[in-house]
């Protein structure tokens, strides 16, 4: 994992180490950190493909003010992963286009 563990001015605290899935692959992150940060630490830099041109997108603002980090999280598209906290067992998927709602059958 690519993480900053010490800094001369800032102090870091992490939540519990948890597993989640990204496009079917198991990954680890820290509970409560933004999903996009966990993906970045695991080397994932592409979060979605644009609707028209299928261009790749990743981090841009990192403060929840654009749409660059939209992903499908637990079947819900258009989740701003830079401001959404990671939870144990989350299913995170690369989003293509505008995304489709794909909720588990027990929710529908």
* Residues at the interface with ligand FES (CB under 6 A): 59-62, 64-66, 68-69, 80, 82
Helix (H) or strand (E) holding 41: helix 35-41
* Nearest distance, CB of residue 79 and ligand FES, angstroms: 10
In angstroms, what is the minimal distance from the CB of 53 to ligand FES? 19
Minimum distance from residue 6 beta carbon to ligand FES (Å): 26
Count of CB atoms situated within 10 Å of the CB of 73: 21
Cβ neighbourhood burial of 49 (10 Å; 0-12, 13-18, 19+) = middle
Is 66 or 91 the residue whose CB approaches ligand FES more closely? Answer: 66
Nearer to ligand FES among residue 3 and residue 61 (C-beta): 61
Residue 15 tokens, joined = 């939540």
Q: Is the dihedral of CA 25, 30, 32, 36 positive or negative?
A: negative
Nearer to ligand FES, 62 or 73 (CB): 62
């Amino acid at each position: 994992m690519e993480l900053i563990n010490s800094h001369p001015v800032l102090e870091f605290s992490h939540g519990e180490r948890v597993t989640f899935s990204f496009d079917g692959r198991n990954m680890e992150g820290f509970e409560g950190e933004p999903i996009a940060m966990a993906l970045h630490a695991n080397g994932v830099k592409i979060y979605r493909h644009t609707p028209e041109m299928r261009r790749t997108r990743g981090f841009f603002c990192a403060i929840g003010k654009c749409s660059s980090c939209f992903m499908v999280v637990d079947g819900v598209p258009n989740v701003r992963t830079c401001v959404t906290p990671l939870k144990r067992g989350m299913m995170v998927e690369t989003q293509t286009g505008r995304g489709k709602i794909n909720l588990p059958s027990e929710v529908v």
